[in-house]
Structure 1
Amino acid sequence: MISTLLIVVIILAIAFDYINGFHDAANSIATVVSTKVLTPFMAVLWAALFNFAAYFYFTDHKVANTVAKTVLEEYITLEVIFAGLVAAISWNLFTWYYGIPSSSSHTLIGGFAGSGMAYAVIVGANPLDAINVNAVLVIISFIVLAPVIGMIISIIITLIIINISKNSRPAIAEKWFKILQLISSAALSFAHGGNDAQKVMGIILVAMVAGGYVENTDHMPEWIPLTCYAAIALGTMSGGWKIVKTMGTKITKVTPLEGVSAETAGALTLGITEHFGIPASTTHTITGAIIGVGVVKRVSAVRWGVTISLLWAWVLTIPVSAVLGGLTLTIIHYIL
């Protein structure tokens, strides 16, 4: 019989996936809404459709495997996973409430790693022994690399498009770019679903292993990916309008041409990281891509004050989530 705590952990993980959907919905629909290609309602339906469609393509679960092995197996208990999820959900809701586009991915990984390290301290081990240091360092490095890659790709795509369409009539060109933006936003939503749903899949899988219901992390029951993709799609349908405003208007004003460039760059970057099993942040990636299209116009077109405040949120997410995860586990262990 499945334990009550395992059921609670699975419910919390699915809840986090749902929150991830509406928290990160802004990443894939901000530009398509700000350019008025789609209404907000139609945009979230469009994004949710392609979030779920990723279930049929991303079947290798490389990102899920990376997340599952962030904390070493001997330091994983259901209490550790529970504490990590509580921390991740708390930080996600806090940043969503204040319209801060922080990374759901890094929130989850930070909370999980922090609770695992706290458990190591409780059992008298070195906290660093509890985590896969190499995997965590790669994830941390992509706090910088993901937006930079997204920015570089978006600059290249924007320059190519500008040169190809320089002799086109503006009205006709804009009409075509609005059509193309439907495709590029779909691609970004597809990549977002493929990358982000896997992170929760990894957490549920290690919970099943810790509870003794799955032999190891090499065998994932099919209901896990199906449930996770459905949850993130439903979350996306709930939207996240405060973050849409930040992403779509506060960083730089985005035209349909620039929307196509930013979304295509974001989709390509996420596709690359998924191929290598790196749980990169959709938020960081698309923000870097939006900055890239702004820089092509002129450096001053980017509101660097807003961008710097976002960078602080990115830098703080993993350590804050880790501290919250560690505190939550300590409270569970010594008080509850």
Structure 2
Amino acid sequence: MDISVMVALVIALALFFDFTNGFHDTANAMATPIATGALKPRMAVALAAVLNLVGAFLSTAVAQTISGGLIREGSNGVQITPVMIFAGLIGAILWNLVTWLLGLPSSSSHALFGGLIGAAVVGAGFGSIDVSVLLSKVVFPAILAPVTAGLVAYLATKIAYAVTKKKQRGRFRYGQVFTSSLVSLAHGTNDAQKTMGVITLTLIAAGTQKAGTGPALWVIVVCALAIAIGTYTGGWRIIRTLGKGLTEIEPGQGFAAEAATTATILASTHLGFALSTTQVASGSVIGTGIGRKGASVRWRTAGRIAVGWVITIPAAGLVGALASWIALAGIVGILADAAVAVGVIVWIFVYSRRNRVHAQNVHLEPTAFVRPKRRKRDRTGRTAK
């Protein structure tokens, strides 16, 4: 396949990943203000979309971690090819959609890293991965960030409830509009850059951009738009899990969780850490549940989320590796990958309609969603009463 066609295909797939990242991670900023009633669901996702768009223009440190750090450069430039990046994106997208279907707040960032690592290992060997960058910029932050955010949220909740009277705590809803906006802005500065890094890596691998350079302006613009549009679609399943599935959230808790999430993400972006905003937001929500007297954390749900965190990189990596192995067979393999990926994506969206979560029912408890029973039909084909 002509290299320019392959690059265009990878860029299109990367922007679709950016779109899924947007609706997968809307919950990170807006689950708590929606749960407490600080913002109406549609208003919340619209605000998040605008601020994600703005945030994408504020920094490129994370993009350069991906485009110039995770995958080693060989004597002839980066060791990963556009075909491998194509395969890695398939692994990331499919894992994003599976976890979205399950309402599981897993990490879009780690899905991307896992897919790229699996594809690169199959195509270029284990030596193509810079393990030091992987550990210092991805793995260690993945362990420390949710713990740090949870601790900060716990302390912030304790302070918020200690210095305010019961009748005053509803006013935290006004503060939530501000803090949730900051989370959305911070999310744009971190997550949109990951797709910028992938596209830049593709251009470097294809020889159309110099190694070591950052994303071009047009890359920043299209990635910002893709994640903003994805954010506006809602991602209601994960919003329901974070807003209602982990703990009952009051306005004071929501304010504390969002403040902790913002501080952690912005600090990590400044350091160039490709952080999982989902892990940070989940850790913050758990921290507030522990911090408020009388609140309880649904540890079974928290355990499911933690398992998702652990298996995201290897699961996406396995899919990326398989897709890379097939794609490296040539144009037939690339077309086979694309056909299977499209088929799985369509099936996931069709299946999701059987138990649809949307802006009108996102406030309900997760246990309130019961799949309607199918009515039996008699021998004539008529529906039995």
For normalisation by structure 1, the TM-score amounts to: 0.93
Partner of 2:65: 66
In structure 1, stretches of 5+ residues that fail to align are: 121-126
Report which stretch shifted further, 153-162 or 96-105: 153-162
Counterparts in 2 of 1:284 and 1:299: CA distance versus 1, 3 Å: farther
Partner of 1:284: 279
Larger Rg: 2
Partner of 2:89: 85
Partner of 1:155: 154
CA distance in 1, matches of 2:3, 2:139: 35
User: How far did residue 298 of structure 1 move?
Assistant: 4.9
Whose RCO is larger (CA < 8 A, sep 6+)? 1
User: How far did residue 76 of structure 1 move?
Assistant: 1.0
CA distance in 2, matches of 1:209, 1:51: 26
Alignment of 1:326 with 2:321, yes or no, is yes
Q: Which AA in structure 2 matches 1:119?
A: G
What is the 5 A alignment of 1:1-336? 3-58=4-59, 61-68=60-67, 69-74=69-74, 75-120=79-124, 127-138=125-136, 139-165=138-164, 168=165, 170-174=166-170, 176-298=171-293, 301-334=296-329, 336=333
User: How far did residue 171 of structure 1 move?
Assistant: 3.5
User: How far did residue 158 of structure 1 move?
Assistant: 1.5
In structure 2, stretches of 5+ residues that fail to align are: 334-385
Structure 1, residues 158-180: CA drift from partner, whole Å, max 9, x if none?
A: 12222322xx3x34431x21110
> Residue 214 of structure 1 aligns to a residue in which SS?
coil
User: How far did residue 103 of structure 1 move?
Assistant: 0.2
Contact 2:115–2:319 (CA<8 Å) still a contact in 1? yes
Contact 1:206–1:217 (CA<8 Å) still a contact in 2? no
CA distance in 2, matches of 1:2, 1:283: 35
User: How far did residue 300 of structure 1 move?
Assistant: 6.9
User: How far did residue 250 of structure 1 move?
Assistant: 0.7
CA distance in 1, matches of 2:64, 2:294: 39
Report which stretch shifted further, 299-308 or 195-204: 299-308
Report which stretch shifted further, 243-252 or 47-56: 47-56
CA distance in 2, matches of 1:323, 1:128: 14
CA distance in 1, matches of 2:86, 2:111: 14
Contact 1:143–1:315 (CA<8 Å) still a contact in 2? no
Structure 1, residues 205-252: CA drift from partner, whole Å, max 9, x if none?
A: 010111121112324211111111111111100011111110001100
Percent identity of the aligned residues? 38
Report which stretch shifted further, 138-147 or 149-158: 138-147
- RMSD value, Cα: 1.5
User: How far did residue 73 of structure 1 move?
Assistant: 2.9
User: How far did residue 299 of structure 1 move?
Assistant: 8.7
CA distance in 2, matches of 1:104, 1:117: 20
CA distance in 1, matches of 2:278, 2:39: 20
Which structure features the higher share of helix residues? 1
Q: Which AA in structure 2 matches 1:233?
A: A
Contact 2:169–2:251 (CA<8 Å) still a contact in 1? no
CA distance in 1, matches of 2:257, 2:219: 31
> Residue 3 of structure 1 aligns to a residue in which SS?
helix
Structure 1, residues 243-297: CA drift from partner, whole Å, max 9, x if none?
A: 1110001100101110000011001000111111011101100000000000112
Q: Number of aligned pairs?
A: 324
CA distance in 1, matches of 2:188, 2:57: 11
Contact 1:205–1:217 (CA<8 Å) still a contact in 2? no
CA distance in 1, matches of 2:294, 2:62: 34
Partner of 1:123: none
CA distance in 2, matches of 1:304, 1:219: 42
Contact 1:71–1:130 (CA<8 Å) still a contact in 2? yes
CA distance in 1, matches of 2:204, 2:186: 27
CA distance in 1, matches of 2:134, 2:272: 12
